[in-house]
Amino acid sequence: MTQPPTDAPDQHKPVKDDSLFTRVSTAMLAVVAIPMLLPAAEPWFQGNLYLRIAVVAVLVLPFVFLSTRRAIRRRGRPEDPADEVRLGKAADRLAAAVREQWFSEATNLKLNRAKDLIDLDWDAAGRRAPRSRRDRTLTQLPGLFDDLAAHGSPRLVLLGGPESGKSASLVYLTLRLLKTRGPQARRVPVLFTLADWNTPDSFEDWLIARLTDQHTWLTAEDYGPDLPALLIRGGYILPVLDSFDEISVKATETGGPTGDTSLELRKQLIASLNETALELPGLILSSRTPEYTEAERRGGPLDDATVIELQPLTKKQVRAYLERVILEEAHDEWRPVFNDLRDLPFRRGNPALLALTSPLVLRLTIEIWEKTDMRPAHLTDRRRFPDAAAVTAFVLREFAPTRFKQRPSKIERKKGRLAREEAMRSLQYLAANTRNGDTWDAIRWWELSMLARTPTRIAAGAIGFALTLAAVGLGGRIGFEQAGLDPRGAWLVGGLLGLFAACLLGYFCYRNRPPLPAETQVHTDGKQLMTALKSGIPIFLFATVAGVAMLGPERGPLIGFGFALPIGAMYALVTPDPAAKATNPRLLLTRDLRVGYVFGAAYAVPAFVVAFVTSDRIWLSVAFAIACALAGALLYGAQWALALRGGKAGAVAFVHLALAILVLAPKRHLPWKVMHFLEEAHKCGILRRQAGGTYEFRHANIAAAIAARGAKELERA
């Protein structure tokens, strides 16, 4: 981490000055301006509403003007040298978050303990051979990359066949580079998947967007503006790009050119990497060998890249690994396998055991035999397993079922654990419905409603329609009765307004895709208070005009103040969470729920107060408050969408999750405790968790085996 200079105290003066200005202006607004809106100030104005508004404007507008001018000056100010300190601290926090994210995945992949690690061999695969004299093994890859960086060409391409351990190798390499990262180091290796490369834009734009998506805490105001872009352009981010071979034409569905093919998209990425002006501290990329070599042959090579290829395990490596990880008392059961793994070639020994040269199959084989009644000697049965393909198919088919108990205990059931049959039914449904050609889309809990799009979108539209009709209709009923209409007329006018608003928002709820969960927290420190007051001013003016039109100049400002204070404060104080920690699906759901009930309360309290003050009817006020609370908690309206910078109107993310469960759980496609199930599948090694709060199948071949198993069961049924 870059240390702050000790002889430049002037660099910190603007920060202190800004803080002082915020405190003074906030105090002026709180002590002087706000009391002018209260009924206690009425003797000063004697019912003159325009005089009251003019006095408040004189007090407020100078601070708004000065704050705006200071913000413009700060944007145009040359970059402060202290920014290096800020970026260095942010890079250190990012490194900690990335380490936390991938450490649990490394545990599931058996990468953290030397005993469980499969030390793969690799060999040069391109015209640019590595200069390093290190052993050509997985554990030496971090040293190889450091050697490449020392010679000024830290671009490494890691190739391999299916099930060769490419993704696991990248996780291992990322964690090792983080472990050896010194306190003065700039580079932070961050692992990205290329499966969503779908843009004709530059690699820089894509990388900034992905870093922001995976680590939304970088957008918190605590770190200053544009931190993801500054980290990337400042040379702090080392992109570790996985799954080059999974770039596919599915990207055309999201706006890419319709004539693109998978090959064209891969060529486009290589060209973008060659043309980028970013001064990155390096680049690491993995791919299946055929897809990369084809893209390189058709579109040109990746400049200054050293290409290596993972090698299949040898008989000696397979046997040594089995003897190391299998308990000594179980060696006798595995003796037939050990005997067939002698130095004879596979074709002269047992060709079926050639399957164990795949790191994935080797790991899964050990895990399966610990959970089944089969004996290891069955692997040597040529009638059961005539060749390597038979062993591979068996291992992939049986891995997922053996992760779940046939009959969990009552305590385990209460915790959400499923029996094997139930779990496999849900996994088969997910595998079948997230398949996209030869790849599988990520599993996002907020998009599970897309698996039952028609009923869930109808339900979302109905929720938006009903809540908006109730909130606007009841509000109109209360307001227009006070404006002089008889109760029947007030119900009619309020109902018509509510019907119009309900049709509009109900349509958006029906049409729009599920939104992203709220990556925010309720942030209530003093720095945000000024922003909260500024946000409340437009709401105050709008509500005051409506209040004056309905209730007259005496009660109008009270209506505006009652709405502006809680709602304006919530819009300003709910900010991106600055905590530098790995995002996970459960954390995203917790934040989304928290923001929902906070905004529900922010709408309910002023709605009840204003309704009761104006109507003096407790039941009508309670009904209006409940309708506003539910609408504020469950729906994105136009005001909230603008406040959260571009969110779409419609039902919030956790509502879509609830609708997906209500539709899919009774059909036994998904369990009622779906979040518990997804996390259990992750801990079992069937799913892996990606940065950004999503899951995906650990390997495409595992997903394919699960989907095929479900198809066969459907045929039998």
Which of the pair, 23 or 495, is modelled with greater confidence?
495
- d(CA 48, CA 554) in angstroms, rounded, equals 9
Please indicate, yes or no, whether the overall pTM of this predicted structure exceeds 0.85.
Answer: no
Report how far apart, in Å, the C-alpha atoms of 30 and of each of 36, 152, 308, 524, 531 are. 10, 58, 65, 16, 13
pLDDT on residue 566: 67
Which of the pair, 675 or 415, is modelled with greater confidence?
675
Helical axes 262-275 vs 289-299, angle rounded to 10°: 70
The predicted model gives 255-279 an average pLDDT of 76
pLDDT on residue 512: 85
Give percent of the chain with pLDDT exceeding 70: 71
Grade residue 450 by pLDDT with cuts at 50, 70 and 90: very high
The predicted model gives 507-535 an average pLDDT of 69
pLDDT on residue 154: 87
pLDDT on residue 240: 94
pLDDT on residue 644: 40
Grade residue 239 by pLDDT with cuts at 50, 70 and 90: very high
Mean pLDDT, the chain, rounded, equals 78
pLDDT on residue 344: 57
Q: Judge whether residue 17 has pLDDT over 60.
A: no
Grade residue 53 by pLDDT with cuts at 50, 70 and 90: low
pLDDT on residue 565: 64
The predicted model gives 516-538 an average pLDDT of 61
Grade residue 191 by pLDDT with cuts at 50, 70 and 90: very high
The listed range with the strongest mean pLDDT (54-58, 195-199, 641-645) is: 195-199
Nearest residue to 335 (alpha-carbon basis) of 385, 395, 376:
376
Grade residue 1 by pLDDT with cuts at 50, 70 and 90: very low
Grade residue 382 by pLDDT with cuts at 50, 70 and 90: confident
The predicted model gives 556-576 an average pLDDT of 64
* Farthest CA pair distance, the chain: 106
Residues in CB range of 121: below 8 A, 6 or more apart: 136, 137, 138, 310, 311, 313, 314, 317
pLDDT on residue 386: 86
Encoded tokens for 118: 């499969």
Report how far apart, in Å, the C-alpha atoms of 660 and of each of 214, 458, 647, 663, 676 are. 24, 12, 21, 5, 15
The predicted model gives 504-517 an average pLDDT of 85
pLDDT on residue 553: 66
Q: Judge whether residue 392 has pLDDT over 60.
A: yes
- d(CA 18, CA 495) in angstroms, rounded, equals 48
pLDDT on residue 265: 87
pLDDT on residue 567: 64
Give percent of the chain with pLDDT exceeding 90: 17
pLDDT on residue 675: 92
pLDDT on residue 416: 76
